[in-house]
Amino acid sequence: MSVQPQENRPILEADQLGMQFRGTTILREISFQLQRGETLAVIGESGCGKTVLLKSLIRLLTPTDGHVIFDGRDLSTLSPRELALERTRFGFVFQQAALFDSMTVGDNVCFPLKQHTRKSAAEMREIAYRLLNEVGLPETVYHKKPAELSGGMRKRVGFARALAMEPEIMLYDEPTTGLDPIMSDVINELILGVKHKRHVSGIIVTHDMKSAKKVADRIIMLYPVTRLQEGESQMIYEGPADEIDYSPDRRVPQFINGEAGERLMEMLKQQQPAYPNREISGY
């Protein structure tokens, strides 16, 4: 039996979360809380563990260390059946939509309903049409295959599928990657709509700072473990979205403003033994 929600506690908490692959540390001692109705953005350069963190939160990947507490329950203590049930309370929007190419759009949206409910075909069809309308897609896409849709339309189908089970938390993995600025903002508005209309909490992994500042209440910035000083926290920023520009850690504004000079210097210095005659002072 699930623990009843309590409004005074976070809906999700990462406690000293760590992840290693073949002896290489990807995540180290990550701790944060997600409050009910809050949207949290996770940013950082490629390879710092953002998507690994997202998947660890619902144990699609099993953390090496630490705990994930969802609605008062430690996910590591649950049986496979209990964990599967708790996962139905999450919606996951994958980076490339991750639609089933052999299925129609309608079947993709209905897939979680078929797996986890006993709704009739007519009920599922009605829900799918309603969700497609909610994400701004016409009824005519219902019988199309994903290959017949644009990238932005596929993203929105994935969005609709993630909403099918009426989740309490939405997890978004790079939801605007590969989209033009207008379609990116459409996705941003959908994320905001889910938050305000459905009162759903959210965690968004993104490189898109415009999106992060628009949709998030708070932002966490991760830094690659391999580039940290001994004992230094991997979370180099955690705070309100509207205060990140004023972070005293120079690495934060360098990332959000796309300033590569210092990083390029580091890369060239690492190459010096192989290229002893290369000049780096001009960078």
Q: What is the pLDDT of residues 121-170, one digit of tens each?
A: 999 999 999 999 999 999 999 999 999 999 889 999 999 999 999 999 99
**pTM reported for the whole predicted model:** 0.86
Q: Domain-by-domain residue ranges, the chain?
A: 100-166
| Closest listed residue to residue 215, CA positions, set 238, 233, 234, 241 | 241
Q: What is the pLDDT of residues 53-76, one digit of tens each?
A: 999 999 999 999 999 999 999 999
Quickly tell me which residue has 């944060």 as its tokens: 32
Q: What is the pLDDT of residues 91-131, one digit of tens each?
A: 999 877 788 999 999 999 999 999 999 999 999 999 999 99
How many angstroms separate the CA atoms of 128 and 120, rounded? 12
How many angstroms separate the CA atoms of 219 and 254, rounded? 16
Rounded to 10°, the helix 105-116/121-134 angle is 120
Going by DSSP bridges, is the β-strand pair 201-205/39-43 parallel, antiparallel, or unpaired?
parallel
